Amino acid sequence: MKPRRKTPLEIKTTEPHMCSVDLRQRLLGQQTFFAQLSPEELILINQNFSETGYEPEDFIYQAGDTVSSLFIVAEGRVKLFQTSAAGKNVLLDLLGPGEFFGSLAVLGTPAYLDTAQAQSHSCVLKISSENFRKILDVYPGVTLKVLDAMSQRLNAANDRFFLISSAPVEKRVAVTLLKLADKFGRKRKPGLLIETPLSRENLAEMTGSTPETVSRVISQFQREGWIDTGRQWIAIQDVSVLQRLAE
């Protein structure tokens, strides 16, 4: 077997993982539920956010922390997970620029149920629940967008539940890789590189499996030539075969 190569990942980050004012402006205006607002309004909105840079592994908040803010990823990758009593993690989502997280329970939950952790150098925007609430009061259109985003997430969560409770690991991994490629895929000589740190363990946490079993599946995929992979990265070589596996 030929040796695995050095990681080909090139996630865009600015040093020191903070983002310029106009990057923020562009992000809010193009990739979030504020997209519909005018430049002047965006400037006002923007002032409600503060930003923080995170190193890989840094926690943004942890399960049990008091809910205080809503977050938006500006740069990097953020992972959301829950931890079982046995210390096993279940990965709920991997987020990229423009995606929000944290609780937007306006009345609801007093404490976060999940944990948010940077998976790469990241810049994260933060707004207090209060201020966000005020923005929603002023811009009903934004509220509808948020509602829509929530609706999509709920659908996605239901689909995950469906998948995990009705398909064998091989199919779960295939579906998960395709979803990740959809979100983080970048064209490459041949195939699609999934632009995020992605270990066997991460995949196991997403598919309700174990690192060993995922490794076996991944190894088989690679033997067949369907994917190309190394430590913490995977590229899909043959999308159509995986799609067939995923039905």
Partner DNA sequence: CGGTTTATTGATTCCCGTCAAGCAAGGTGG
Partner DNA sequence: CCACCTTGCTTGACGGGAATCAATAAACCG
Binding-site string for its own copies from residue 63 to residue 82, where x marks contact by CB under 8 A and - marks none = -------------------x
For the chain, helix, strand, coil in percent to 5 are 40, 25, 35
Contact between 194 and 167 under an 8 Å Cβ cutoff? The reply is no
30 binding partner (options its own copies, DNA, none; Cβ < 5 to 8 Å by kind): none
Site for its own copies in 98-137 (CB under 8 A): 103-109, 113-114, 133, 136-137
Contact between 214 and 173 under an 8 Å Cβ cutoff? The reply is yes
Other Cβ atoms within 10 Å of 43 Cβ, number? 14
Among 42-50, 139-147, 175-183, 222-230, the segment contacting its own copies (CB under 8 A): 139-147
Is there binding between residue 168 and its own copies (CB under 8 A)? no
Residue 83 parent element (H or E): strand 78-83
Among 208, 213, 219, 239, binds its own copies (CB under 8 A): 208
- Cα distances from 225 to residues 98, 161, 201, 220, in angstroms, run 33, 29, 22, 9
Return the SS3 of 68: coil
Return the SS3 of 214: helix
Among 74, 104, 218, 235, binds DNA (CB under 7 A): 218
169 binding partner (options DNA, its own copies, none; Cβ < 5 to 8 Å by kind): DNA
1 binding partner (options DNA, its own copies, none; Cβ < 5 to 8 Å by kind): DNA
Is there binding between residue 58 and DNA (CB under 7 A)? no
Contact between 70 and 102 under an 8 Å Cβ cutoff? The reply is yes
Among 93, 170, 195, 228, binds DNA (CB under 7 A): 170
Among 143, 199, 213, 215, binds its own copies (CB under 8 A): 143
137 binding partner (options DNA, its own copies, none; Cβ < 5 to 8 Å by kind): its own copies
Alpha helices in the chain (DSSP H): 21-31, 39-46, 129-138, 140-164, 169-184, 200-207, 211-223, 239-245
Q: Which residues are paired to 91 by β-bridges?
A: 81
Binding-site string for its own copies from residue 8 to residue 47, where x marks contact by CB under 8 A and - marks none = ----------------------------------------
Comparing CB distances to DNA, the nearer of 42 and 192 is: 192
Comparing CB distances to DNA, the nearer of 98 and 208 is: 208
Half-sphere exposure of 246 (CA within 13 A, CB side): 18
What's the min distance (Å) between Cβ of 144 and its own copies? 5
Residues that bind DNA (CB under 7 A): 1, 3-7, 168-170, 199-201, 208-213, 215-216, 218-219, 222, 229-232
